[in-house]
Structure 1
């Protein structure tokens, strides 16, 4: 494809991505007025014999913290708004909010306000879910599928993780993964303050992913229209790099690639390989 064609295609794709992001955020922040008239129920549950976590939430304000037991506390929800069950060692937590007050947007369930845009407090707009895990708990698998809202976690320790964010904000203070891990963002923002992991997959649509910490093994970083920022400990020569850049940009420390650049860099005695694929957005990798 000629340069002009690539530019036109890039602008078109970026416009579509921005449009989707605006629609998601508009739907999120205008939602809740009608649905929330019925969200006055509170719910608590304490479970045991947990080896893995499976969290599937369409929209809420979620806090995951350390304590003494496996416990969930839900407020501002409907009577049957959350399903909590331990099955074969897996603790399943899934919201079940009334579909009359939400819409399905490409598989993502989001709140809808039939009275138009309104400014309301977060307490009014979101169900609030507080999940407590015993201090020192290490999960076999820790899976999070989060549609929209706000999620904040303390320490997560697991053999493997799979974390997906649609829209909204997610902050993970500390995450330690022994085996493989996968992270994906649609139109939201994911921040991991301290990550220790290997064989990592990071994928961003029109959203943003920011990671600080250490990554080993072979990792795939795929950025569409958004941006991915990695600030890692180590040395640039500790890794191999395979760069595949569309009309966006890829930066590794002081080296830059943009506009249909392709390059493979191999070093001796490496800890792993980074495959960096960027469409229209940007990938920044700092290793120091």
Structure 2
């Protein structure tokens, strides 16, 4: 089924990531971060198990919403498929932006931003708690608008698979493509923790909506990207990586005084903590 496309692709993606690791010194002139890479593989395996356990339930929910759609977008037409791909990209942009601006969602997404190097294996380091946080909820608008859930999951898988190749430091800027596509250069900015680059370039396959909604930032030659979280995770344990931000967030909720402050710890921006971690 389409919701499991990423599971089928995972062994291939990990193999490509390991090939990059073997060529890293020749490509980058430095030692490959093997501990970080192994941690990413561990997180990816855990995420795959979670997807196997929860994927069917999420798909059933999408099918339930599909039953109450007011119309149907025909996906056996070129214009229907094109509209689906663009609609998935639009929802992905806002979904991704939400995960950077609301701490409840950031607790899951922070896992993906935790590596201190940008490698192909970074692409498969995805959080385990998206069903808990409700990260899939923005995409429910798509079956409600008439896109069949099979098509939605297939288009979203295509979007995420595209993003694998942009997690790299070895590909330079790509000229005029930088104005339209989410390229390695544009995505390096997204993963950077420099103040200049924070919360920029949220697109999946495109940067069109970043340009439209004012969140686009080009990579600047005079300011190299620094990767990782502003408060680093000093662990290569996949379980620690998967749950570290949840632990920080719940600690801050427990220490906060009053419901307003507790809600701010949960649903304010990621920086809305009581004290540095």
**Same fold by TM (over 0.5)?**
no
Q: Which has the larger radius of gyration?
A: 1
Q: TM-score, normalised by structure 2?
A: 0.24
Which one has the bigger strand percentage? 1
Higher helix share: 2
How high is the TM-score relative to the length of structure 1?
0.23
